[in-house]
């Protein structure tokens, strides 16, 4: 199943499944989204200053209910996370996934902590989703806005995404998966985690020191998560220390897998990040620095 693309007049539900949403960034973002010709429905947790504990946008039950209500609303075509932060994993067991399956396919978009929600939507609902910039972020610049708009309204225009350079040369095909490294490592042993078998994997993170990146990659390697991986695409490592040390780590941990690896692809916690569909077939060409999607994620 694939969700339908957006059209003028459709409704986008803005939700806060993780951290509290800065009010000033929200007020700037909503008019941008409405400029696409859509209705924007702002969830109750999005408007909260903070929950309890204060690094959450609301209680686990409230955030799960906000997400569930948005998905079950027949008028909503896209559920867009306003921002990341922390907390998605805490609410996943409170979502009625059977009810969401009955509601039919919709678009989920977001990134960072939303990686856990992407995995859940892919596993429980069998749907592709969009690893995308989020509107309540200082990184939601004009390029990021336009790439997300095209992914939602004109997905065939994003069939080839260019960026990066070869860390390990080669070409491979598989289903695109992954996202934020911290969330992938933290998800080991959970029902939604799955594995990277037959997949091309996205990896990125922010404000993690090199030894912590090492620990997370090592955990994924030792757990067997990377077994059968086809290729790897590395995004931004903003505020993760010396880029040369990060690059050396990626070579040390990932090159022995013997698959193509692209570095500096430009997605993640960085300005002008592209929107990348998860759960769909893709070909990575490390030498050309391209991701080519077999077909659009949205019909």
Catalytic residues: 112, 204, 269
How far is residue 162 CA from its own chain's centroid? 18
Distance CA(65)–CA(221), nearest Å, equals 35
b vs e for 58-94, b when ≥16 Cβ sit within 10 Å of the residue's Cβ? bbbebbbbbbbebbeeeebbbbbbbbbbebbbbbbee
**Local structure of residue 226 (DSSP, 8 states):** T
C-alpha span between 76 and 74 (Å, rounded): 6
Residue among 8, 299, 296 nearest 157 (CA)? 296
Which residues make beta-bridge pairs with 11? Answer: 39, 76
Q: Is 177 helix (H, G, I), strand (E, B) or coil?
A: strand
- 104 CB-near residues (< 8 Å, 6+ apart): none
Calpha distance 149→170 (Å, rounded): 31
Which structure tokens are listed for 129?
């989703």
């Amino acid at each position: 199943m694939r969700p339908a693309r957006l059209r003028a007049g459709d409704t986008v539900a803005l939700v806060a499944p993780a951290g509290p949403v800065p009010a000033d960034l929200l007020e700037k973002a909503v008019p941008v989204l409405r400029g696409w010709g859509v209705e924007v429905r702002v969830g109750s947790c999005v408007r909260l200053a903070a929950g309890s504990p204060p690094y959450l946008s609301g209680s686990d039950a409230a955030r799960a209910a906000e997400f569930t209500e948005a998905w079950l609303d027949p008028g909503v075509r896209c559920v867009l996370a306003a921002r990341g932060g922390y907390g998605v994993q805490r609410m996943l067991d409170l979502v009625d996934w059977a009810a969401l399956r009955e509601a039919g396919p919709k678009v989920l978009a977001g990134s960072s902590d939303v990686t856990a929600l992407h995995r859940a939507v892919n596993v429980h609902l069998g749907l592709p989703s969009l690893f995308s910039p989020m509107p309540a972020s200082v990184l939601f610049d004009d390029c990021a806005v336009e790439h997300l708009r095209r992914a939602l309204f004109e997905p065939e225009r994003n069939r080839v995404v260019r960026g990066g350079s070869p860390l390990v040369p080669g070409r491979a095909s598989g289903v695109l998966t992954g996202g934020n490294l911290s969330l992938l490592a933290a998800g080991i042993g959970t029902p939604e985690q799955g594995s990277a078998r037959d997949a091309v994997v996205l990896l990125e993170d922010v404000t993690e020191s090199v030894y912590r990146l090492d620990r997370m990659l090592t955990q994924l390697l030792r757990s067997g998560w990377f077994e059968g991986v086809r290729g790897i695409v590395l995004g931004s490592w903003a505020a993760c220390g010396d880029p040369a040390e990060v690059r050396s780590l990626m070579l040390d941990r990932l090159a022995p897998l013997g698959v193509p690896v692209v570095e500096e692809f430009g997605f993640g916690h960085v300005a002008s990040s592209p929107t990348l569909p998860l759960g769909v077939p893709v070909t990575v060409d490390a030498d050309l620095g391209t991701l080519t999607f077999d077909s659009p994620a949205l019909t």
